[in-house]
Structure 1
Amino acid sequence: MHYRRLYQPGARYFFTAVTENREPLLIDHIERLRAAFRLCLSRYPFEIDAIVVLPEHLHTLWRLPENDADFSKRWMVIKRKFSAGLPSRVVSDSKTQKREKGIWQRRFWEHYIRDEEDWRRHVDYIHFNPVKHGYVSKPQDWPHSSFNQAVRKGWYEPGIVLDDQLIGLNHENIGNE
């Protein structure tokens, strides 16, 4: 059975994108990644509610425009722009035929956000991910995250104390299918 994505104009989605073989490229090339997002946003607007970039993967939560549901096109732009200029990795014939450089895993993972509670759980998962992976002890200390913007928006209290439930969030207990 083939996986079918749900495309809903104006919807919110949680995404995970991972580098091929979990190569730690993203932080080393963070400005390239930012430029890829800026290019995509200029061509195909969307809102970023939350984002975290770790060395080999990123999580983000987007809201698409009311008249547009094509998140796959956006990921294609981001991945291609990021990969342009980076040396190719050893790739399979099928990746070569599709002009892929072996920088990213071919697919990305997405989850349709059903309601505000689902949104909140995913925002928390994104912001506490650097703590979960042991990069920092407090989410506000990770420089490649929207956490501090979320504090300024009032989504979190300044100096939030970590909650074991937030640290332990994973794909299974945040309601993902």
Structure 2
Amino acid sequence: MSNYRRSYVNGGTWFFTVNLQNRQSDLLIRHIQTLRDAVRSVKRQKSFRINAWVILPEHMHCIWTLPENDSDYSGRWRDIKKTFTKGINASGIWQPRFWEHTIRNETDYRRHMDYVYINPVKHGWARLVKEWPYSTFHRDVRYGLYPEDWAGEVDSMDAGERK
């Protein structure tokens, strides 16, 4: 059994990858409103800032910043998973853990933001970042943080094809 340690920093910013157990499923986008409601509900109870988020059919990536006196992202993920699972009346849908990376500096932050937003293109779900509807990219375009045509058209062979 591995001795897995997570990095907890009050007020920290993290990049996360969360996967469904069935990597062929489309559950997350099929039940997108239930997922959004679960996140909204947990966010009301235990605040956090969503820096970026992209939801693909069977996994999602996001970047969060927690309040300065808080580092409990694990509890938030547990509650989001539980609320979503209950909302679709299912069980055993999530991989048991999630992957996290503590953001170290502005360069690391920018690199992970870009990774979140290019992910649907990388997996072949869209040819342009702006085509993928399940992403905070659209919010960040409205805020002027990214141009609408950011990354241009990417050939899925260059970005990593969906299998």
Does the pair score TM above 0.5? yes
| CA–CA separation in structure 2 for the residues paired with 1:161 and 1:107 | 31
Runs of 4+ in 1 over 4 A off after TM superposition: 167-170
1:59 aligns with 2:61: yes
| CA–CA separation in structure 1 for the residues paired with 2:107 and 2:153 | 17
CA drift of 1:24 comes to: 2.0
TM-score (norm 1): 0.82
The more displaced of 57-66 and 19-28 is: 19-28
Identity %: 47
Secondary structure of the 1:26 match is helix
> Is the 1:14–1:61 Cα contact (8 Å) retained in structure 2?
yes
Aligned to 1:148: 138
TM-score (norm 2): 0.89
Q: Which of residues 27, 31, 43 is equivalent to 1:29?
A: 31
CA drift of 1:77 comes to: 0.6
| CA–CA separation in structure 1 for the residues paired with 2:153 and 2:146 | 12
Deviations 1:98-127 (A, max 9, x none): xxx211111010000000000000000000
CA drift of 1:160 comes to: 2.6
Q: CA 1:160–1:78 in 2, change beyond 3 Å: closer, same or farther? A: same
Aligned to 1:75: 77
| CA–CA separation in structure 2 for the residues paired with 1:78 and 1:127 | 21
| CA–CA separation in structure 2 for the residues paired with 1:51 and 1:105 | 19
Aligned to 1:173: none
For structure 1, the residue ranges without an aligned partner over 5 or more in a row are 89-100, 171-177
Aligned to 1:97: none
1:46 aligns with 2:48: yes
> Is the 2:128–2:153 Cα contact (8 Å) retained in structure 1?
no
Secondary structure of the 1:20 match is coil
Aligned to 2:20: 19
Aligned to 2:152: 162
Aligned to 2:116: 126
> Is the 2:121–2:159 Cα contact (8 Å) retained in structure 1?
no
Secondary structure of the 2:51 match is strand
Could you say what the CA RMSD is over the residues aligned between the two structures, in angstroms? 1.9
Q: CA 1:163–1:138 in 2, change beyond 3 Å: closer, same or farther? A: closer
Q: CA 1:82–1:117 in 2, change beyond 3 Å: closer, same or farther? A: same
CA drift of 1:153 comes to: 1.9
The more displaced of 106-115 and 144-153 is: 144-153
| CA–CA separation in structure 2 for the residues paired with 1:114 and 1:163 | 30
Deviations 1:57-111 (A, max 9, x none): 00000000000000000001100000004344xxxxxxxxxxxx21111101000
| CA–CA separation in structure 1 for the residues paired with 2:66 and 2:74 | 12
> Is the 2:127–2:153 Cα contact (8 Å) retained in structure 1?
no
2:6 alignment partner AA: R
